[in-house]
């Protein structure tokens, strides 16, 4: 799931911002292209693509800084929903 989630999240970001290159662990907020509009798009994308509703306590910057952290968030949410 985690690798698949990484691929999907990366594809979503690079489709929107094809010129930006970054590793899965890199802080995408430090790269300066994430504005509040794209942040909301990211939240909506994750919720739709992985069929989950991110609870308020998980909605903090630390969970969205990198592709890897977002994939970890997805894994936590989807396992919480299953379990």
Near another protein in 64-83, by CB under 8 A: 64
Give the count of beta carbons closer than 10 Å to the beta carbon of residue 79: 10
17 contributes a contact to another protein by CB under 8 A: yes
Only one residue has tokens 């998980």, namely 58
Give the count of beta carbons closer than 10 Å to the beta carbon of residue 68: 16
The interface region with another protein, picked from 3-11, 31-39, 72-80 by CB under 8 A, is 31-39
Residue 57 has what DSSP assignment?
G
- The footprint of another protein (CB under 8 A) covers 15-19, 36-37, 39-45, 47-48, 56-57, 59-61, 64
């Amino acid at each position: 799931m985690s690798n698949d989630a990484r691929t999907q999240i990366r594809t979503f970001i690079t489709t929107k911002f094809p010129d930006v290159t970054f590793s899965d662990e890199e802080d995408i907020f430090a790269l300066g292209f994430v504005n509040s509009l794209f942040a909301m798009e990211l939240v909506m994308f994750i919720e739709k693509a992985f069929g989950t509703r991110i609870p308020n306590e998980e909605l903090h910057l630390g969970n969205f800084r990198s592709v890897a952290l977002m994939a970890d968030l997805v894994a936590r949410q989807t396992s919480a929903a299953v379990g």
